[in-house]
Amino acid sequence: MHPLIGITTNRVANPKNPFHTVTLSESYLRAVQAAGGTPVLLPSIAPKETWDVLWERLDGILFTGGDDVDPTRFNGLPHPRVGGIDEPRDDFEIAFLQRAVKEDKPFLCICRGIQVMNVALGGTLYTDIADQREGAEKHDWYPDWPRDQRAHTVKVMANSRLAELMQSDEVGVNSLHHQGIWDLAAGLQLTGTAPDGLIEAVEVPGHRFAIGVQWHPEWLQDDAAMRRLFEALMAAAA
């Protein structure tokens, strides 16, 4: 079995023509393929009347990293570092995330993805961690550091699906974000925190597979624990 995994995509404005460029790091595709899945890119500009067609064909979903979620989605504080707002992408991902929770479709959320997960279920975000969280460590290490360089550890909570997969109560992770979870959505279970207390991992209790991580495991595929995140998604989606 090679479950069909829909992967969300980013859009970048093109100053030379009216069409955006759809982008996605190949690292996501390779991680899905290595775990036994068949990746397919999801266009955020797909007309809403076609969403059901996409939905029915997917065995699972990978919500990827990218630009910021629009702060108006969660009554967030304005900040000059907020950028890359993409209304169609927010619309598409929030709708698919909510439906995945409701209909028990397996999904994994990475970086922006965990933020979408929290917002879609009623939580809020720091629009800039450094300015809004007292005592925060540095979390936005890219481009100063390579994407695969570990920046800090994450404390993994016992009795969680994440703990089963990490097989450890602490893991080293990369850190490439300036936003993060502030108020945790009521339907989510906290499963991982950074040394400064910032939420780094969550899951939906009782769901077939619904995990969100703030780091980028697709860039850490030399680590068996990070590969297990993708393998577990494929197993749930098969």
- The string of pLDDT tens digits covering residues 181-230 is 999 999 999 999 999 999 999 999 999 999 999 999 999 999 999 999 99
Residue type, 36: G
pTM of the complete model: 0.97
| CB-based contact 139:194 (threshold 8 Å) | yes
Is the pLDDT at 127 greater than 90? The verdict is yes
For residue 150, CA distances in Å to 104, 111, 139, 147, 180 come to 32, 15, 11, 8, 18
pLDDT at residue 145 tops 80:
no
Distance of alpha carbon 4 from alpha carbon 24, whole angstroms: 17
The CA dihedral of 132, 69, 173, 108, to the nearest 10 degrees, is 140
Alpha carbon distances (Å) from 76 to 71, 97, 122: 4, 20, 12
Mean pLDDT of the chain: 96
> For the chain, what is the domain count?
1
Residues 166, 143 contacting (CB under 8 angstroms):
no
pLDDT tens digits along 54-87: 999 999 999 999 999 999 999 999 999 999 999 9
What is the per-residue pLDDT for 219?
A: 97
Q: Determine the pLDDT at residue 19.
A: 93
Q: Return the pLDDT at 146.
A: 86
Tell me, what's the pLDDT at 156? 98
Q: Letter for the amino acid at 6? A: G
Task: Tell me which residue range forms the domain holding 94.
Answer: 4-237
Q: What is the pLDDT of residue 1?
A: 77
Closest CA to 100 of 58, 145, 128, 141: 58
Cα dihedral 84/22/227/150 (nearest 10)? -40
pLDDT of residue 97: 98
CATH assignment at residue 209:
3.40.50.880
Residues of the chain with pLDDT > 70, as a percent, come to: 100
Q: What is the share, in percent, of the chain residues with pLDDT greater than 90?
A: 93
Q: Does the structure show a pLDDT above 80 at 6?
A: yes
The residues that are catalytic are 111, 216, 218
Q: Report whether pLDDT(104) > 80.
A: yes
AA identity, residue 69: V
CA angle 69, 72, 74 (to 5 degrees): 75
Q: Exposed (0-12), middle (13-18) or buried (19+): which is 170, by Cβ within 10 Å?
A: exposed
